[in-house]
Every structure is written in C-alpha cells, then in structure tokens.
Structure 1
C-alpha cells in the first residue's frame, strides 16, 4: 500500500497515533495527534523520540507517560502498541489513551487555606506565568548559576532551542545551543558573563545579529528578593528585523527624495495646511523668480493668477479634507515683475508620520508655457480628429503616422495595423498610377487636392471615397506632412442607385400590375356576362347564380391582394410571407419580359419540374429578384460564336429545397471577378448600378434562402442558382 493512502486511513481514526521507525525515531503523527500536540507530521519526521516523550529512551508503553507539546505544555497519557494491518514494514504505532493534565489545578479553597507567605508565593508565580504567556517578547529567567527557572514559548521559538536542552534547565547548555546562530558568538558569551557578574546593572536595547539576517534587541535586569539581594537575571529578546529594515528603507527613501528634490527639473514644493510652502526646490525657485525663504512666507494664493485662485484653493481643500486623493490642473503663476508663467500642477497628500502632525501637500510643477501654446494650436486639429470623417496624417513618402477612430470605422483597419505602413495599403489592386501622379502634381502646385477615388477596405472590398488632401509645410516652406480627410460614398451611391432602380421598377411594376389585374378583371367580366346571359334567357337557376357570384368574389379578392402587395412595396413594408408556387411565379416573370430586345435577339426557355412543393416567400420581392436575374442574363449578351442570347430557367427539388437555375450561354464572368459580383456597387455593365445582385442576395437571405453563382462546365456562360426551403406537403 502506498504511503499517502495509508496516512489517509490513519487520519480517519478517532484516536491519537504516533509512528516510530525501527531505530525509535519519530516518523509521523495522524491528524488527532497533530491536534493534541500542536506539531505537524512533517515537523517531527526524523526527530528523536524525546521531542515528544522527554523521559523516554525507547518507545514508551506504560500507564503514565509524560508527553511534551509544541507550545511547551505537557500532559500524561496511557500508551500502548497499536497493530494496523496496512502499516508499512518497520513502522511501530503508539496509541495514546486517557489523556489528562500533569497535575490537577489546585482548588481555590485550598489556596485560601494556605499560610500568607505561601499564598503570596502562589500569586506571584501565577502573575509570572501570565506575563510569560502573554508578553510579545522572548523571556527567560535564570539564577546567578545560569540555571533557567522560567521561560515562555516565544523564547524557545525565537532561538529554536531543542526541547531536551530546555528540559534540563541548564542556561550554559542553552547558550551553547544557539552559538552557531550568532554573527559574534564570542562577544555574545563575554557580554552575558559580564552581566551575570554585575546583576545590579540593567541592559537597554543591545543589538544581537544572527547569521540568518535577523536582528534582535536584548533587554535584561537583575532580579532581587524581598531583602534586596540579587539572585539572578531576567532576559528579554525581541525580533526587530522588520523595524530595522523599515528604518533603513525610510533612510534610503529620504535620501532619494532629497536627491530628487534638489536635482529635479520639475518644481517641487511641500505645502502646509496654511497653504504656505514649507520647502521649495531650486527648479521652483527659478520658475517663480523667488527664493525658498520668500516663498515660505507666502500662501500660494499670493503668487497665483487671480482667476485661477478659487479653483486651486477648492481642490487643495478637498485633498486636505480627504475628499479626493489628488488633482492636476494647468494654472498661471505670477512672477515678482508681474509676468505670467504657465504651469501644470499635480498635487497629492504626503504620507502621514507620527511626529509631524497632519500630513502636508506635495506639489509638482512643470513649466508648460511652450506646451500650452502648442496645445492651443493643436486644439483645432483635435476637433478635426473627432469628426465623423476619416482623418489620416502621413509623412511626405506616405508613411502613416496617425489616424482617428472614424478611419477604423470606414476602412476596417485599426491604428496598430496601419501606423508605420504607407498609404499604398489603402489602394485597390490594379489601380491607375496616372491618377495618383495627377494627385501629386496638384499637391505640389496648389498644396491641396479634392475628388473621388476608389479605396480598399481591410476585407479587400472596394469603397468609393470622397478625399481631401492638404499639404502641411514647416517654417521653411518645405512639405513635411499630408493630411487626408475622406468619407465613405458607398451608402450615398447605393441610395442613388436605389432611386434609379426604383424608377425602373415602377415601369416594370406597371406591366406587372396590368398583367396581374387583367386576369381577375377578365374573369370577373366573364362570370358576370355569363350570369346576365342566363338571366336574359330565363334559364338562370339559383345554384348557377350562386356559383358565378362566388367566382366573382374570388377574383375580386385576387385583385385586392395584388393592390395590397403593391401598397406594401411602395411603403417599403414586407407583407407576410405566404405559400408560393415558384413555377407559377416564373410564368408571371416571363409575361413581364418584352418580346424582343433592341440590343440583340434572345430566346427564353422554361424547364419546370412537375409537382414541386410550395415555398414560404414574399412573392412580390421574390418576383423582383427572379426578374432581375433573367434580365441580367439577357443583357449579358450572346456567347462566343452565337448570334442570339439563350437563357434557360429550370426548377427542381434538391435536398428538401426548391431550386431555381437561371442558365445563360453568354460571355461569362472571369474568375477574378466572381468573388466581387455580390459586392455593392460592383458592376460589369456600362450604366449599371451594381446593387441588383446584392439586393437579390438580401431578399433570399431574408426568406431563409441562398443565392450563388456557378461557371458553366462546359461553357460558355454562367448559372445563377437560388434555393428556398420547401413546405411540407
């Protein structure tokens, strides 16, 4: 069995167990024994037997065994060997039973019956024990023969004297036990012996240095009996290492502060609660034109510009009152000649000390006259950088030095990604070098350029931008920087394209409205005419008239739905999606197309799958999307070697979705442009808006559908495919 599980089993037992190895050395304690004796199991491992059993030379098995605890107390216990089947070989376990005090406490009644001298002795001893137990000092009392008569646990712990040495009470042995801890053992022994020879002499704060770096202070005095005869000495030790380290750190800190105070380029002042500087360094003297003696007589209000006094005083009072930790302001100081010096003042409360009363203020003053002038000049530039337009500052060679937040929003690049790079990072692939040569020529001549260019965003997309570039000159007239201010024209162009598209859509909707309303109106006219004819001939039965009226009502509702969808369209509203037959919708799309094209002849074909399920869609938007795809295919023109445009629209059921494929045999789209075909404002047609396909893609995504492009294999031409989830049958 492994050691860890075995110790876990011992810890679960309800009695104290001590483990010894074959040589009689302490090996372990279980949790009950640790709680009883104060030692940890690892503390005793490998230690001699008499650490716990002072009077034992071999494992004690008896009724009254004296047991020594870590805190110096002792108790009696009955011990017996304990057999544990899981114990490792060579391990002897000792079980402690009937634990009890060494001596029962003497009842108060028996104390009261003692003679007065004995009673006084009892109380004196009790007082001594209480003092030993509660004092923070390490204390030992020894007679003139170096016999230790009393000590506290702090003394044993401070010096780490073995219990067996303390048990013998031999002071000389105790001194010998600590000599290897001392930096000057010979001097220590000599002084102890000298003090024993002069018991009437008191010792105050002798420093004792230990090799482990600790520093002790020792106090001692002779002990007298009632007759005034000295019979021994009481020794008091306290560990002052932390205090000495703090004192040394304080001395070093004060030295550093003094060096900084005297040599700092910043003005430094220590200001009291009366607002007068207690100290002022040379830098502040030079800045204010007054020496330290003069400044110490003046409240800071007297050398502060009048308009800045109230704010500075109020903030200082808040710091002194504990309402704030510090403050920083720019303020104006007055020189003896009446001049004004701008300073940036940082004020905080100095650490409190025990001797100096309320802590003063520490003021750091920076001469910011030049900085203030520069900040005033840059205020306008800061306003520009906070604008909604992108701002970029470059060197003459185009290296980007600074950008604002709007730059990141418009281009997608963060400041960290562009700083140190040239502005060529923002140019699209295949840009026209002549355009940038013209821009540079304008900057060289007029110092500014303004116009529209095509920029590149971080994601690679193209972006129309309106750009203003201004050259910045130094005092010698040389161009040192360029400032670019630009805005994104994408939305503006999309809105213009949308207006153009909607204008064209009105014409298409006129044809669509005429077509969709003509059918129900013709049906209404037919049913009404048939019913009137039957009435004129006298053969109209109630059933026949009822059937005709129901059909008229049905066609009227159909016409009403067309008008309702049209109203939704012009309001920009989306009507509730409804079950839609894509085959029927494609027939209505083909009915809207002109019979021929002025540009080139075309041939349209429908290849519709039979018995296709319905889809849930906004039929008006979907019809607009399908019409746009077919018109795009027609306007693409015929393919190589063909005289007319050939477009085939097919429908199929694919993986639980209805798919529409618009297949053309036109010139196709080059591979480099296929990834951009769905980007806003991208177009391959002269006069195109570049928003038709992005709108189609958006319509499909709104209705849980998908639109994509495939190159025909074999060519020529391309196929646009869209899918919509099929409704359950």
Structure 2
C-alpha cells in the first residue's frame, strides 16, 4: 500500500525545486522586459517624431499642389470672363495659352470647346482630340459646357504625358453657356515640378485613386513597403484622387544599435547559465516526478473506483480506506484508520453477523461469491453490501493483512421489487382501458402482450404463454375493420414500435365502433327518407308551375282556334291565313311540350339542353305573345338592344319562360300606374364575360323587406299570385350558371337583371 504522507510530501519537494528554477528565470525576464521596454519607448518616440514630421510635410505638399491646380483653374476662369466680355480674341487666346504652357510644364494643353466637346481654339493644335475618344472624360467636359458648372475629369492616359486630368470652366455668351475652357494637367509633371527635393529625399510621393492604385509617383529611391504612411484628399480634381506619402526606411542612431547588441549578448549569457543550471536540476527532479506520477496515478485509480476499498492488518485494525468507501459509510478517512472492531458503521441489530463475517475473513474463509451483509451510514441509514475479501501481500511476498472490496447492492435489490410493482400498475391501467390493446411481433406475428378488453373481444385464453395469433384477424389493416366472427366493427390504429428486447413490434389499438356504425346507418336511412320527401315537395311545386306555365301556350292555341272558327263561319278565312294560324297553333303546342319536358328535367335534376341561340330572337318570340296585354294596358315599350351580341349557348325554351314571366310581371306591376307613365324597358348588353338582360318597369316598386323573400316558393306580392314564377325563373337562370337579381328602378318601379356567363359559350364551342 502507498503511504499518503510520502505521496503528499513529493509535490512539496517538486514545488520547491520549481521555485528555485523559476527565480533566475524571473530575474532574466524582468531584465529583458526592462530593456525591451526602454528600447520600445525610444523607438516609439522616434517613430512619433517621424510621423509628426510626415504629417506636416504632407499637408504642406498637399496645399502646394492644390494651390498650383487652383491657379490653373483661376486661369480658366479669367479666360471665361474675358470671353464673356468679348475681350478675348483668338490671337490673344493663343498668346496667353502659349505663355502659360511654357511657364508650367505640367500644363499639357489649353483649349476652348463647344458643348459637344469639339475644339474651337486649341493650343497646341488638336490637343483635345484624344479626349474625344474617351467617353468617361468627354462626358464631364460636355456637362460643364451645357449646365454651366466647373468640373474635372477622371484620370486618363494622355499621349506623351502619361496620367492626366482635365479641368473645365464653362464659357458664357450673354446668359447662355456656349462651351467650356479646358486645361489638361499631367500628374507626373505636376509632381516633378512642384515636389521639392527635400520632400522627395524623405518620402515617396504618390497620387492614388479610389482603389488604392498608384496613378502617378515621384520616386527618388526604390519603392518600399512601410507602415509609416499618410494620405490626404487631393481635391480638386475630384473622383477620389488622394496624395499619399510613404517615408523611406532610415537607419537608427549608432548608440541604439550598440545597446541592442549589449542586450542581446547579456541575454545569451544568461540563457547559457540557465541551461547549465537546468541540466543539473533535471536529473534530480526526474526521479521525484516519476515517483509522483506513479503515486498520483495509483491514487487516482483508487479514488475513481465505485467500489469501496478497505485494508486491515493482521490484528484487524483498519489501515486504508478509499474515497468510495468513505462516501458509502459517511465517515471520513481519519475517523476510520486505526479503528478495531466493533466498527462505527455496524448497525446494532446486525453486530453479531458483522463480527462473524469479520472473524471469517481473518481466518481466511473468503468465498468466491463474497458475503452479504448490512451496514449503517453515519446518518443511521441502513444499506446492503456485497463484500469480497482477499489476503494483502507486500513486495516481499509476505501477507501483511486483508484487502476487502464492497459494492452497494441496495438498489439492485429494490429494482426487481419496483419493476414488479410498476408492471402490476401498468397491467391494471391497461386492463382498465375499454379499447383492445395488443403488442405482436412484426415478423412472426406472435402475441407478446394484450389487455383484458382484447382477450374478451377476440376470445383469447388468459394464459401468458406465447400465442401465435392475428390480433384483429386482418393483419396489416388500419382504419375501420369488420370482424366477421364476432360481427363487430372496430376502429384500428397501428404503430410500429420497439419492444423491451429491442425487437420490432406492432402496437394495435382497436376501439369498438359497432354502435356508432349502426347509428350512422340509421342516420343515412333517415336522410334518404327526408330527401325523398323533399323530392315529393319539389314535384308538387313543379305541378303548380306546370299549370302556371302551360296556361299561356294553351290560351294562345285556344285563341288561334277560336279565331279560325269565327273566320271560317263568316267565310273570311283565306288559305294562307289558315296555314299561318295552324303554324302558330303547332308552334304553341310545341312550346307547351317543351315546357313540360323542361319542367320534367328540372324535377329530375337534369342539365339543360343547350343550343346556339340569339337573345334578340328569344325576345322577338316572347313579345308577340304579350302584345295583347301591352296594348290593353297602354304600356309603352322601350328596347335598347346591344349591337353584335355573341351567340348564347342555352336552353331556348327555358330562357323564353324567364323572359315571358319577367315581362308579364312588369306589365302587371304597372296596373295602378297612370297610363302616360307606363313604360317597359328591355335592355341587352355585354359586360365583360357576361350577357346582361334588364327588364325595368315604372310600377309602385318592391319594398326592401319584400326583396329578401321575393324568390322564395309560394311567396307573391299579388293577391292572386301563386308565388312560383320568380322562383322558377331563378332556378332556370342558376341552371345556366347565371344570376337573377332585382333592385329599385331610378325614377320609380323595379328592375330585374339576368346575367348569363359567356364562358359557357366557349366551353360548348370547343
């Protein structure tokens, strides 16, 4: 066994050796830090001084270049003023431009251009022609000449001068801009002429664009990469040009280099001495570290065990306990080491049993399956352990005591009991469910588990042995399933799951819905009876409408027959009139037959038989039938028929019924209207994809509360009315996927509107 005192002393020795080794390291680091701080301070002061000088020089240089460029701009302004006062002639322009170019070598060209960028005057000749090939340069010049504002161009490559910019100043003639004076400035020559030698010796001067690319440069040495750089905006000209100055690399003073060398030498000397010292101490610490690692590793293994470890000498005195044993009994190690029986973790009621186990271990009677004994924690809680013991042999092969390991088996004993109780509760809950629940093996179909409702529903035995069965007699079905054996209906829900042994199973839940199905069947039969009753009522309504609608063609047939008989008696019936009358009688008989067939189809819920027809022809067919009521009631007929109305695919007879009823109702609605105000308006038009038919009267109108009930069966505003005409009209219009509506007619009366979709025309045409 390892000695804890020895183990605890090893880290202290190692820490002392580490401290002795760290002292010279710390001293060296402090010395190096002080020297480095001094050098950094001196270097920083020198760098700050150079940066301040750089900023001042760059600002001075930037102002110098701006003044020079502004001078050229002012020159253009003077030319523009002289030109506006008509004091500038072509001769004086060339003289002035030649003098300016000769005295300012960065000035490449001076010109007067028109609003299109074409040179009017140019020195030298054709100097601005290269600008016309560059749209990005020409556009600012044209803009300046047109809107009268000074401008400059982006950088461009001018032949023979390299990178250049053009300055533009508008020229005025009265209140109008007629062109612009242009000066082309070479950036390279500008830097060469106006960057003094003492600036060029210290810094690399560049003109850069927005992307940081060098446009022009003044170099006295090779280009360098240095973080000591300063940039300023060079405006004018615009377009993001900047002036950048980069300091040339300079060597520091000699004393600073000597100081660097001394510091480096002292550092090397100190490192060598430390290396020698470390080599001397490494051999001494190697054994201590190896021993410390070994002891720490063994102690970590012992403390990480879940099982409690306890060692005792030959006299039964405790010499070692691990951390797990202390946690198990609730005592600290110092409370247990050196104790002899009876132990503080023996419960009073089990002291005799613990003494017997203790004596058996000392006699060497250690069974392979260990001892089962009950211990007591410091808090008084009892717990069961499984104790295994073996002789403790030292490095010389001598037995020095006994080693025991203990495992807490309290929870292991409780788990079967808790599992059994949980299973009983689960079975009780499952048997209390009304639905039939079963678990079957997915591959073999073996019934693994079922509740009482399942066994009762499918007459299965109560035994728990393996049973190969199809739980619902229709394996794999889900939804509503009928069991022909028990003549019952079940709602089945099935889900794949994983059983306790990780095998795949089916979980089936079947709910008896037989009563629900019987109730649904009774409801279906009741619905069929109600539907049959509704159809009989509809047949009654159609019988009433049949008498209502057939009255018109039968009356016409009777009128034609009576007229023919009267004319025949008087001998005033020519053959051609007789033929006409017979044709009318035949047409009205046909119409009566069509009405009967249409109503029969309506009763049987059949689709209308649509044919191509013109709405004007339908109106022309209906109006003669109502000619007598129109003349009798002194109704003035106003027709507004749309031009070029499309062909309508509809049931001709049904639409004639609708028009007949609406016009007849309109005539009857004006019975109480003064004769001079009786006006019937029939209007046809096309609105988008619909054909609209409007029948308007000048009657007394319809009350708002009556409009909501106007189309209901057996509701009428006339004392002798049956209340079926408008209801039938709406049904016919809806058969044609249309809409029948009513509204108040401005000026008095009512207005009925029939809207029929023309989409049906396209469908039937195709």
Scaled by the length of structure 2, what TM-score is found? 0.33
Scaled by the length of structure 1, what TM-score is found? 0.35
Q: Whose relative contact order is higher, 1 or 2, with alpha carbons under 8 Å and at least 6 apart?
A: 2
Which protein has the bigger helix share?
A: 2
